[in-house]
Structure 1
């Protein structure tokens, strides 16, 4: 990446930010990138949830993230950001170039995508919504446990059925790593 940044004279236009452990600094980085009308790119081969995607969108950053895993649900393609296929770098880079070309031609385009991210977070990913869902699930589980006297074996069967009907098909859509390419984190 550093060679490509140098080759295409992109110094000052792209920042490669390594893993950050300081939450305050992370927030400042997101804000700085947002204030300079940048974008957040998360090209992982697979991301289970995508907390960094939610954090970036919470700051209003247009977000480009892997189409495999949680970010595929978080991002509505073309509204708060874009799905990218990390196995197809040319298409991902073309999508980024197209986005910034649109922003240059119409400065309100960046704000439109930014506002789409803020709205998506407000509708789906706030702590209030999360806690309400958790309380609902707790209530359902408590009621279920109260009305049924399931033993461990029955509970295990229920979980296996849930896996077979829902999660196995979701997991099968995740592409396998291509031999010779570095693996995801």
Structure 2
């Protein structure tokens, strides 16, 4: 890639951003790219969910991401971003070039894809929607487990993952009542 950047004199037009652990800085990086009418490209061979895709789209970035895994569901191709196949680099490059050429011809094209990405996030990927789905899933799981006595391994795995990622640290921060120390 560095050779291609040098060959086509793209220095200053492409930025490699290594893995970032600071969420505030991540948001700022996405905003800087969006403010300059850039795009986010995530060419992973496979991405289980696609949190970086959701983050980039939340910042209004037109997003190009792997079709393999979660981004294939997150992005509506051509409406809220673009699917790329990392195994077909030439086609991915053509799609990127085509996007930016269209942006030059139609000054509203970048904004259309940006707004499409934001709409998709607000329709499908907010914490409010996620928690509502989780509660529905928990209710359905409880009902079916009670009625059928089935042990739904997938649902249990999902709930355990949610607990581990979201609630375990929250639960640790809740102070325990000590005998004689409870309020009435």
Q: How far 1:143 moved relative to its partner?
A: 1.4
Structure 1 segments of 4+ aligned residues over 4 angstroms from their partners: none
Q: Distance in 1 between matches of 2:73 and 2:101?
A: 26
Q: Distance in 1 between matches of 2:6 and 2:112?
A: 31
Give unmatched runs, 5+ long, in structure 1: 160-185
Q: Distance in 2 between matches of 1:96 and 1:148?
A: 51
> TM-score of the superposition, structure 1-length normalised?
0.80
Map residues 86-165 of structure 1 onto 2, 5 A cutoff: 86-150=86-150, 155=152
Q: How far 1:97 moved relative to its partner?
A: 0.3
Partner residue, 1:182: none
Q: Distance in 2 between matches of 1:143 and 1:84?
A: 40
Please report the RMSD computed on the Cα atoms of aligned residues, expressed in angstroms: 1.2
> TM-score of the superposition, structure 2-length normalised?
0.80
Q: Distance in 2 between matches of 1:43 and 1:11?
A: 20
RCO comparison, higher one (Cα < 8 Å, 6+): 1
Partner residue, 2:33: 33
